């Protein structure tokens, strides 16, 4: 597995020959300080940064590739590994190896990719759901769209912002592949990472400038209360006896109990949420009323409408990384890598279908 170095990088143990030395040679070539090849220089943008090799003092014969930890900047990283290409074996593989790889996932040649695993943060339960490679191999042409959409669902809603950002990043990688004929990649993967917790955003009704600075809509709460959404969904409501704070990060029961306590003192009160775009020529409005009877099960869907389905132009851009990883089977070539290109295009199509539907 991948180990973490105290300096914040990760360590990938070098595989036995020829795979390990081949991957090391690939990184050395791309990250050579004297490299002036524009194709390879651009490729660096799509890889984890490479910091050479490392060996532990207690085992000098063990060699590790020292790489950037792509997940390091995320608070609640959601991670998916997708193998790309129509073949998961290289041109020099034995007949036995080819048969073994094809039998593992015969659909790879047809759709051009395979989900190797995923780890998804669910806001609703403040926990992670993990799926291994057996989950990916169980997906068919008919179920692969739903199988991948699972990675972008946080328990409340589909993270369309993360899907859109992922598509943009894959398209950049596809552009690179369309423009190069130097290298062919086999059994290589794309690593997807996005922030599972919502972007920290606070909107105060009485402070229009704050809303304008952050480029988000004004949130209207009765009495000038604060509406904050970040890792948790929190509603802070002023009452006569002070402030009642409710959080749904640990479960809905606490959220409902606290709200019932707050609202029992004023049966006819209601909380209005209004979201307005500050643009004069492009007004989008959403108005939701949460009354006492809504508290039995409709609060979360109503909040979801406001926060999970905001128009793209007023929603913060998702924090997403898509990087190429695993280079034990990269070979020189004088033709385009059609298998990898085919897989990228199909993956983009699937993600676009998830987004559109």
For 235-278, the pLDDT digits (tens) are 333 343 333 333 333 334 443 344 444 444 434 433 333 333 33
Whether residues 98 and 154 fall in one domain: yes
Confidence at residue 357, expressed as pLDDT on a 0 to 100 scale: 86
Bridge pairing between strands 10-13 and 113-122: unpaired
Residue (of 72, 100, 101, 73) closest to 2 by Cα position? 72
Whether residues 184 and 326 fall in one domain: yes
- Give the residue, 357 or 303, on which the prediction is more confident: 357
Q: What is the CA radius of gyration of the chain?
A: 24
Q: Following DSSP, what letter does each residue of 84-146 receive, concatenated? A: ESS-SS-TT--HHHHHHHHHH-TTHHHHSEEEEEEEEEETTTTEEEEE-HHHHHT--TTTHHH
Confidence at residue 213, expressed as pLDDT on a 0 to 100 scale: 39
Whether residues 194 and 326 fall in one domain: yes
**153 domain-assigned:** yes
Distances in whole angstroms, Cα of residue 199 to Cα of each of 103, 155, 159, 208, 327: 42, 16, 12, 19, 33
Residue (of 309, 41, 282, 31) closest to 158 by Cα position? 309
Residue (of 298, 230, 247) closest to 270 by Cα position? 298
Token pair for residue 317?
Answer: 């851009």
Q: What is the rounded distance in angstroms from the CA atom of residue 123 to the CA atom of residue 24?
A: 38
Whether residues 190 and 330 fall in one domain: yes
Q: Of 11, 37, 69, which residue is a domain's last?
A: 69
Kindly indicate the confidence band of residue 1, based on its pLDDT and cuts at 50, 70 and 90: confident
**96 domain-assigned:** yes
The listed range with the strongest mean pLDDT (176-180, 277-281, 299-303) is 176-180
- Give the residue, 347 or 124, on which the prediction is more confident: 347
Tokens 């939701």 belong to 288
**105 domain-assigned:** yes
Token pair for residue 28?
Answer: 């050395």
**Residue 112 pLDDT > 90, yes or no?**
yes
Size of the chain in residues = 357
Tokens 């922030």 belong to 195
Whether residues 86 and 189 fall in one domain: yes
Question: Mean per-residue pLDDT for 65-81?
Answer: 97
Q: What is the rounded distance in angstroms from the CA atom of residue 246 to the CA atom of residue 15?
A: 50
Which residues 6+ apart lie within 8 Å of 63 measured at CB?
13, 14, 20, 24, 53, 54, 55
Question: Mean per-residue pLDDT for 93-116?
Answer: 95
**Residue 103 pLDDT > 90, yes or no?**
yes
SS3 call for 317? coil
**Residue 322 pLDDT > 50, yes or no?**
yes
Whether residues 339 and 192 fall in one domain: yes
Whether residues 49 and 95 fall in one domain: no
Whether residues 49 and 78 fall in one domain: no
Whether residues 64 and 85 fall in one domain: no
**251 domain-assigned:** no
**51 domain-assigned:** yes
- Give the residue, 240 or 58, on which the prediction is more confident: 58
Query: Does the pTM of the predicted model rise above 0.75?
Result: no
Q: What is the rounded distance in angstroms from the CA atom of residue 152 to the CA atom of residue 355?
A: 10
Sign of the dihedral through C-alpha 345, 347, 353, 355: negative
**277 domain-assigned:** no
Q: What is the rounded distance in angstroms from the CA atom of residue 307 to the CA atom of residue 315?
A: 9
Whether residues 192 and 322 fall in one domain: yes
Q: Order of strands across the sheet with 188-195?
A: 127-131, 113-122, 77-84, 188-195, 320-325
Whether residues 50 and 13 fall in one domain: yes
Least confident of 89-103, 104-118, 221-235, 303-317: 221-235
Residues 20 and 328 sit within 8 Å (Cβ to Cβ): yes
Q: What phi and psi, each to the nearest 5 degrees, are found at residue 96?
A: -65, -40
Least confident of 7-16, 71-80, 275-284, 333-342: 275-284
Outline where DSSP puts E strands in the chain: 2-4, 10-13, 50-54, 64-67, 77-84, 113-122, 127-131, 183-185, 188-195, 201-204, 218-220, 226-229, 233-239, 242-247, 271-276, 285-290, 320-325, 330-332
Token pair for residue 12?
Answer: 């990938």
Bridge pairing between strands 10-13 and 64-67: antiparallel
**Residue 292 pLDDT > 50, yes or no?**
no
**Residue 308 pLDDT > 90, yes or no?**
no
Q: Of 43, 69, 95, which residue is a domain's last?
A: 69
Whether residues 88 and 139 fall in one domain: yes
Question: Mean per-residue pLDDT for 203-220?
Answer: 38
Question: Mean per-residue pLDDT for 15-19?
Answer: 96
The number of angstroms, rounded, from the C-alpha of 308 to the middle of its chain's C-alpha atoms is: 15
Confidence at residue 198, expressed as pLDDT on a 0 to 100 scale: 73
Task: Report the number of distinct structural domains present in the chain.
Answer: 2
Q: Of 69, 102, 127, which residue is a domain's last?
A: 69
**4 domain-assigned:** yes
Output the average pLDDT for the chain: 77
Confidence at residue 260, expressed as pLDDT on a 0 to 100 scale: 43
* Domain hosting residue 148, numbered range: 70-198+318-356
């Amino acid at each position: 597995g991948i180990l973490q170095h105290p300096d914040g990088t990760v360590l990938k143990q070098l595989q036995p020959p020829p795979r390990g030395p081949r991957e090391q040679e690939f990184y050395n070539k791309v990250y050579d300080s004297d490299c002036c090849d524009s194709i390879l220089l651009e490729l660096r943008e799509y890889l984890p940064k490479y910091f050479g090799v490392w060996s532990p003092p207690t085992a000098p014969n063990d060699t590790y590739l020292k790489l950037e930890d792509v997940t390091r900047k995320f608070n609640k990283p959601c991670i998916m590994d997708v193998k790309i290409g129509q073949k998961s074996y290289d041109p020099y593989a034995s007949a036995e190896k080819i048969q073994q790889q094809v039998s593992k996932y015969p659909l790879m040649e047809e759709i051009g990719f395979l989900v190797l695993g995923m780890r998804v943060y669910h806001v609703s339960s403040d926990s992670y759901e993990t799926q291994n490679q057996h989950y990916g191999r169980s997906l068919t042409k008919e179920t692969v769209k739903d199988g991948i959409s699972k990675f972008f669902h946080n328990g409340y809603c589909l993270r369309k912002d993360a899907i859109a950002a992922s598509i943009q990043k894959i398209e950049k990688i596809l552009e690179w592949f369309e423009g190069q004929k130097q290298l062919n990649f086999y059994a290589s993967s794309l690593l997807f990472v996005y922030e599972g917790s919502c972007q920290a955003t606070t909107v105060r009704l009485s402070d229009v400038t704050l809303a304008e600075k952050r480029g988000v809509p004004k949130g209207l709460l009765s009495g000038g209360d604060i509406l904050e959404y970040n890792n948790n969904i929190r509603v802070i409501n002023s009452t006569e006896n002070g402030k009642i704070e409710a959080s749904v990060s640990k479960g809905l029961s606490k959220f409902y109990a606290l709200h019932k306590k707050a609202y029992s003192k004023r049966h006819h009160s209601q909380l209005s949420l209004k979201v307005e775009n500050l643009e004069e020529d492009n007004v989008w409005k959403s108005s939701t009323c949460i009354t006492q009877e809504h508290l039995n099960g409709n609060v979360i869907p109503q909040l979801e409408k406001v926060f999970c389905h905001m128009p793209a132009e007023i929603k913060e851009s998702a924090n997403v990384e898509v990087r190429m990883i695993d280079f034990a089977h990269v070979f020189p070539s004088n033709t385009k890598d059609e298998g990898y290109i085919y897989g990228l295009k199909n993956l983009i199509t699937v993600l676009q279908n998830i987004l559109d539907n």
